[in-house]
Structure 1
Amino acid sequence: MMTITTTEALANFCARAATAPYVTVDTEFLRERTYYSKLCLIQLAIPGNDEEDAVLVDPLVEGLSLDPIYDLFRDESVVKVFHAARQDLEIFCIEGGVIPAPLFDTQVAAMVCGFGEQVGYETLVRKIAKGNIDKSSRFTDWSRRPLTDAQKSYALADVTHLRDIYEHLSAELARSGRTEWVEEELSVLTDPETYRIAPRDAWRRVKTRTQSGRFMAILRELAAFREEYAQARNVPRSRVYKDDALIELASTKPSSEKDLARSRLLLREARKGEIADGILAAVQAGLEVDPKDFPETDNVRDKLQVNPALADLLRVLLKAKAETAGVAQKLIATSADLDTIAAGGREVQALSGWRKKVFGRDAIRMCEGRVGLKAQGNDVVVFEL
């Protein structure tokens, strides 16, 4: 097992990779104690069976530059293959200011090819590569050195099996004419804005049932302060205060440290000092927000009246269409999409692009009373009314 620890060795491998049709990529990282992921290991593989065709790159070695990898990621003659790429891409976008292109995500491709919703890597290894993965090193601390042979083998397996999976899925997509479907799905992953979290938008990540304007204004300010504090000190959001505490604060509207001391959910260290000052300032800012500037929620149920019976029919239609197309239901439409359509909304992803051909066109026709559903043997089919 080859571990690269110098910039020269990395440049040599990347030069070889630049002549290959694709390179498979994975990372190991830690995020439990930091806001930003700490990159601990990079795995790379190119087509071939020689030992030097699959390598580990140790980014923790002092003096090692990752510039050769970033240059390879910018080389559009080489496809960069990941599985469930989002977290890996976030690391490279933040640390190197680069998003690999062209990109291929085997999890997305597998969903398009009928392997189910968010299919796991182990499943694809078993079904496509006919291999198995040793799980003993799954919950390892990848920042500790030296790495054991078992850890290295586990890490390398994440990119060596990926070669067979990529070749199988890319061939299947070409055969079925669905390559563009995957490319459409990857547009979000390849957008740098996907990985930039603006503190003023952090409130959108907090799940709450309360939608009153004043509550949401305070929640927005509290979420923004938490995000700014966590980013500046590179600590997890939960180290500042957790979502349940944030919601409690937005409800109770504390105005003093004495009020904070009565919180059931706030961490002890957040009841005084910088965090306490930030909380009180955020609550006050939220109380002063003009009603016309209250946050606008995207909850379709607040804006449109959902027809439950029609929503249920759309779910049956989605299941039937997904089975016919051999595509994961979740990839075509979410439950929220179906509710929006049933409520008369049309600005949803399920009604555009390839989804419109597979599901959206008939979904609209059903809402308009032009088609219905009927049982035909073991299948559910669409018929004209």
Structure 2
Amino acid sequence: MRTITTTEQLAEFCAKCATFDYVTIDTEFLRERTYYSKLCLIQMAHPGEGNDGAVLVDVLEEGLSLDPLYALFQDESVTKVFHAARQDLEIFFVDRQIFPKPFFDTQVAAMVCGFGEQVGYETLVRKIAKAQLDKSSRFTDWSQRPLSDKQKHYALGDVTHLRDIYEFLAKRLEKTKRTSWVEEEVEILTSPETYNTDPNDAWKRVKTRSSSRRFLATVQELAKFRETYAQDRNIPRNRVYKDDALMEVAATRPKAIGDLSKSRLLLREARKGQIAEGIIAAVKAANAIKDEDLPAVAKVKQRPQGSEGLADLLRVLLKAKAEEAGVAQKLIANASDLDDIAAQVGGDHVFRGWRSEVFGNDARDLCDGKIALSASGSSVKIVKV
């Protein structure tokens, strides 16, 4: 098992990868104690030379630069293959604002090819590569050195088997003419908006049922401070204060640091120092917002009476069309999408791209009364009206 520890070694291996059509990549990282993921290890494999074409890149080695890897990311003659790549891509984007191009996600491809919803890597290894993975090292501390042989073997398995999986899925996509479907789906994974966390929008992730605009304004300011504080110090946002404590403070709206001692939910560290000062400043900022500038309460979508029955029919249609196409249902639409379509208040993305071909056109015709559904044994048939 070869481990790369210098920039020169990485450059040599990336140059070798550039002579192939694709390279498989995975990462090991920690995030429990930080806001941003701490990259600990990169695994890479090209399709030549068996396991000799697979390496571990020890990114914790002093002086090792990832410049050769980022150059490979920008080499459009080589497809960069990942599985369930969102967190991997976030690490690289935060570090250098670069996405691999072209990019292929085997989890997305597997969903398009009928392997189910959010299919795991271990499942694909078993079904496609006909191998078994030892997952006992999955939750080890990847920042500790030296790595054990067991850890290294586990890590390499995440890219060696991925070669077989990629080649199998790529051939099936080409045969079924669905390569463009995967390309359409992974666009969101290579969009900067997916990974840019704006503190001004942090409050939208806090679940609250209040209809008080002043309360929402306080939640907005408290979440903004927490996000900024966590980002600046690279600590988890819950280490600053948790959502339940945030909402408690938003409800009580303390005026001075001394008032924080009355909180039941704030951590002791949040009742003093910079965090306490930030809380009071956030509450004051919310109190100073003019009534007309307060955040609007999210409108509840009003669904017309009777749309529930149509939504149920859409669920039956979706199941039938997904089975016919061999595509995971949730990749086409979720329950909320179907409710929105039935009520004519959303779900527009279902009527675009490949989804329209597989389901959207029939869904529209069902809503317009142009088709009906009929049972034929254990299957569902579409009947033109």
The answer to whether the superposition gives a TM-score over 0.5 is yes
**What's 1:310 paired with?**
310
Alignment partner of 1:342 is 2:364: no
Deviates more, 1:13-22 or 1:279-288: 279-288
SS in 1 for 2:210: coil
Name the CA shift for 1:242/1:305 in 2 (closer, same or farther; >3 Å): farther
More displaced, 191-200 or 164-173? 191-200
Tell me what 2:364 maps to: 364
Question: Following the alignment from structure 1 to structure 2, what is the Cα–Cα distance between the partners of residues 182 and 297?
Answer: 36
Of the structure 1 ranges 282-291 and 223-232, higher mean CA displacement relative to structure 2 is found in 282-291
> For the Cα contact (< 8 Å) 1:30–1:38, is it kept in 2?
yes
Between the aligned partners of 1:366 and 1:216, the Cα distance in structure 2 is 40
Deviation at 1:375, TM superposition (A): 1.2
- 1:21 pairs with 2:9: no
Q: Give the drift of 1:303.
A: 5.3
- How far residue 261 of structure 1 moved from its aligned partner, in angstroms, is 2.1
Within 5 Å, give how 1:144-183 maps onto structure 2. 144-183=144-183
| Structure 1 segment 281-292 matched on structure 2, within 5 A | 281-292=281-292
Check 1:347–1:291 CA distance in 2 against 1; reply closer, same or farther (3 A cut): farther
Aligned residues of 1:26 and 1:159 also touching (Cα < 8 A): yes
Amino acid at match of 2:110: A
Query: After the TM superposition, which of the residue ranges 320-329 and 97-106 deviates more from structure 2?
Result: 320-329
Tell me the CA shift for residue 106 of structure 1.
0.3
Aligned to 1:276: 276
| Amino acid of the structure 2 residue aligned with 1:160 | T
Decide whether the 8 Å contact of 2:42 with 2:59 is kept in 1: yes
Q: Tell me the SS of whatever aligns to 1:186.
A: helix
2:12 aligns with: 12
Check 1:175–1:50 CA distance in 2 against 1; reply closer, same or farther (3 A cut). closer
**Counterparts in 2 of 1:371 and 1:216: CA distance versus 1, 3 Å:** farther
Whether 1:196 and 2:208 are equivalent positions in the alignment is no
Q: Superposed, which structure 2 residues align to 1:25-44 within 5 Å?
A: 25-44=25-44
Alignment length (residue pairs): 384
**Aligned counterparts of 1:258 and 1:305: Cα–Cα separation in 2:** 50
1:219-239 deviations in Å (ceiling 9; x for gaps): 211111111000000000110
1:63-212 alignment, distance < 5 Å: 63-212=63-212
| 2:59 alignment partner in structure 1 | 59
Q: Distance in 1 between matches of 2:210 and 2:352?
A: 31
| 8 Å contact from structure 2 (residues 338, 347) kept in 1 | no
- Residue 222 of structure 1 aligns with an amino acid whose one-letter code is L
Taking a change above 3 Å as real, the CA distance of residues 210 and 334 of structure 1, as seen in their structure-2 partners, is farther
Which string of whole-angstrom CA distances, capped at 9 and with x for unpartnered residues, describes residues 228-270 of structure 1? 0000000001101112222232233233334322222221111
User: 3-state DSSP class of the match of 2:47?
Assistant: coil
Contact kept, 8 Å, 1:84 with 1:108, in 2: the verdict is yes
What secondary structure does 2:189 align onto?
coil
Structural RMSD (CA)? 1.7
Q: Deviations over 1:95-122 (max 9, x none)?
A: 1221000000000000001111100000
- Distance of aligned partners of 1:378 and 1:230 in 2 relative to their CA distance in 1, 3 Å threshold: same
State the 1:305 CA deviation.
4.6
**Partners of 1:27 and 1:293 in 2: how far apart?**
44
Q: In structure 2, give the amino acid aligned to 1:15.
A: A
Matched residue of 1:227: which SS?
helix
Note the alpha carbon deviations across 1:145-195, whole angstroms, 9 max, x for none. 000000000000000000000000010111111111100001100112211
Matching residue's letter, 1:158: D
CA distance in 2, matches of 1:73, 1:326: 32
Q: Tell me: CA distance 1:87–1:175, structure 2 relative to 1, closer, same or farther (3 Å).
A: same
Which 10-residue stretch deviates more, 359-368 or 339-348? 339-348
Report the equivalent of 1:246: 246
Inter-partner Cα distance in structure 2 for 1:207 and 1:355: 30
What residue identity is the alignment partner of 1:383? V
Asked whether the 8 Å contact 1:81–1:104 carries over to 2, the reply is yes
Larger mean CA deviation between 280-289 and 173-182 belongs to 280-289
Identity of matched residues, % = 65
* TM-score after normalising by structure 2: 0.95
> Unpaired segments of 5 or more residues in structure 1?
none
Instruction: Show CA shifts across 1:330-357 (max 9, x none).
Output: 1111222122212212453222111111
TM-score (norm 1): 0.95
8 Å contact from structure 1 (residues 2, 51) kept in 2: no
1:72 corresponds to which letter in structure 2? L
Which residue number corresponds to residue 324 of structure 1? Answer: 324
Measured in 2, the distance between the counterparts of 1:243 and 1:235 equals: 15
Counterpart Cα distance in 2 of 1:336 and 1:264 = 36
- Farther-moved stretch of structure 1 (57-66 vs 209-218): 209-218
Unaligned runs of 5+ in 2: none
SS in 1 for 2:190: coil
Aligned to 2:247, the other structure's residue is in SS state helix
Rate the CA distance shift 1:341–1:214 in 2: closer, same or farther, 3 A.
farther
SS in 1 for 2:126: helix
Letter in 2 for 1:162: L
